[in-house]
Amino acid sequence: MTDRTPHRDQLDQAVGLFQGGRLPEAENLCHEILGADPACADAHHLLAYVYTRRGDPARATESLGRAIQAAPTRPDLHMSLATALMNTGNFAAAAESYATAARLKPGWFQALANRGIALARLHRYTEAESALHDALALQPDSEPVLTSLAGVLQALGRSAEAADAAGRAVAADPAAPEAWTNLGLARHSLGQLTDAASACERAIAAAPDFAMAWYNLGHVRNDEWRADEARPRFLRAVELDSSYQPAWHAMLFNSLYDAAETERTIFEAHARWSRTLTRGVPVPAPPPVATSRHPSGTPRRIRVGYVSPDFRTHSCAAFLQPLFAGHDLAVVEVFAYSAVERTDDVTDWFRSHSQHWRNIRGLRHQAIAELIRSDGIDILVDLAGHTLNQPLEVFALQPAPVQVAWLGYPATTGLPQIGYRLTDDVADPPGAADRYHTEQLVRLAGGFHCYRAPDDAPDVSSLPASNNGFITFASFNNIAKVTPVVIATWAGILLALPDSRLLLKGKLLVHAGVRARICRAFEQAGVSATRLELRNWISRSDNPLAAYGEVDIALDTFPYNGTTTTFEALWMGVP
């Protein structure tokens, strides 16, 4: 507020009232000034500060709009407007306002830096990277900008560059927890688990109440095959911030691996999450069920919306593709709400088999719910439950009259707003399963999955034992499902057949530490590590199903059983 105006003395008095915390008096004085001079930009600007202090960003934004109408070339007003827009979640408009501020005041570091952050929130990572580099040209050692750049580079899949940027950030400020956290994320992606854990621990040391650092450390511990150390980290993140949804999802998902959990304890944990999610928040009434006919009397197609982060190369695709290919488009109109982080050719397949494709990645839950309501969805289907990147919270906003859970999560969601869950009487036998679901279980006859094998699946091989002279057991399940309890059971099988071997395959087995821990667990159960073959994950281009040609009998994990791996084994003739 640098301009001299006829109201300078009153403005100075209003600023003093504001700084003294006397907000009603400051507001009244601003209105008095505006009564005499409605175009006083400084009075509108100060009113915006008053509304911001009161926690009313919408009114702050409105006041700043009026200030800019009165003084459109003042960069500070555009900067303040951008900040207010960020507070309302309107990141696109904020990015434009930051750009305007930077254009009106060339070389304004903070405007450039903040624009990069706003663009990153929009997942416009390439533009964000450019804006952050512009800011770094002015202040090369800015820890906040380097930290933001690390996050952007990580999102672009350039983990080595992200680690370099985060390393520069922690060098600039060794006490910055966000910088250490982003360094941990980058190291984790690079498979440097020990360094990743160390970075997370440095973040926690710098800020013991930083929930994200605890959450990230939990994921590192999971990938180190230390689930017993992962869940307490997720729990700690939730204790620190009960609204931190990724930590809740991770904690609930991890509970499915634990043999000590029961259907009842799993249900209670999911219900607790749901109560926390909706506590104090009024749940909107669902839209009314639409009529089955248009006003003209002609039949109307049922609008079915599928919500998933996994419209890509993913195990769920083997079951989703038959469904999408089998829709009767005379009866069903398909909407796909995609939260996919990195698309591929399978994403293109799903897009081509959807009448309406909606990219919801990066949108707030309220915005997604409004989009679904505006699309007039009749049945909304959750395909991923509490797995990574699924916006399950959208379903709590009840954007469709009928909401269903299916496929990607083998337990209750905990959300009473999801009315049904598709299953069968093998996966969820009648009785206890009905008591421990918030959803009504709809059991499909003959099984609730329809598997589609890859077109390039190899032929079934001859029995390997015929050539080897010994039985080869195998499990290609996620290694996180191979718990100490599972190993104890499998060890009993191997000890009963002293010449048998066990083949394990999974992404986590690329890490030497994981392989060593698994070998040690088997040896403690009496099985020599020489009887184990541990292989890394095999990419789709290398035809992973061919590995079943080396397997006589597949072993299932428990209590979290295989799904896709079970179908793959049976398809390849392996019992």
pLDDT at position 1 over 50: no
pLDDT at position 278 over 90: no
Per-residue pLDDT tens digits for 97-133: 999 999 999 999 999 999 999 999 998 999 999 999 9
Q: Which residues of 94-112 are buried (b: 16+ CB within 10 A; e: fewer)?
A: bbbbbbbbbebeeebbbbb
Per-residue pLDDT tens digits for 246-259: 999 999 999 999 99
pLDDT at position 4 over 50: no
Task: Tell me whether residue 467 is exposed, middle or buried, using C-beta atoms within 10 angstroms of its C-beta: 0 to 12, 13 to 18, 19 or more.
Answer: exposed
Provide mean pLDDT across the span 192-216.
Answer: 98
pLDDT at position 547 over 70: yes
Reported pTM: 0.91
Contact at 8 Å (CB) between 322 and 407?
no
Write down the mean pLDDT value for the chain.
95
Contact at 8 Å (CB) between 98 and 90?
no
- % of the chain residues with pLDDT over 90: 88
Q: Which of 446, 414, 410 is nearest to 428 (CA)?
A: 410
pLDDT value of position 574: 98
Per-residue pLDDT tens digits for 469-524: 999 999 999 999 999 999 999 999 999 999 999 999 999 999 999 999 999 999 99
Which residues are within 8 A (CB) of 262 and not within 5 positions of it... i.e. 6 or more apart? none
Reported in sequence order, the residue ranges of 225-288 that DSSP labels E, i.e. its strands, are none
Q: Are strands 420-423 and 501-505 parallel, antiparallel or unpaired?
A: unpaired
pLDDT value of position 5: 56
Q: Which of 136, 139, 146, 188 is nearest to 170 (CA)?
A: 146
Amino acid at 18: F
Which residues are within 8 A (CB) of 43 and not within 5 positions of it... i.e. 6 or more apart? 7, 11, 14, 30, 33, 34, 37
pLDDT at position 234 over 90: yes
Helix (H) or strand (E) holding 64: helix 57-70
pLDDT value of position 2: 47
pLDDT value of position 541: 86
pLDDT at position 411 over 90: yes
**Inter-CA distances, 203 with 206, 216, 228, 232, Å:** 5, 10, 21, 17
Per-residue pLDDT tens digits for 338-371: 999 999 999 999 999 999 999 999 888 999 999 9
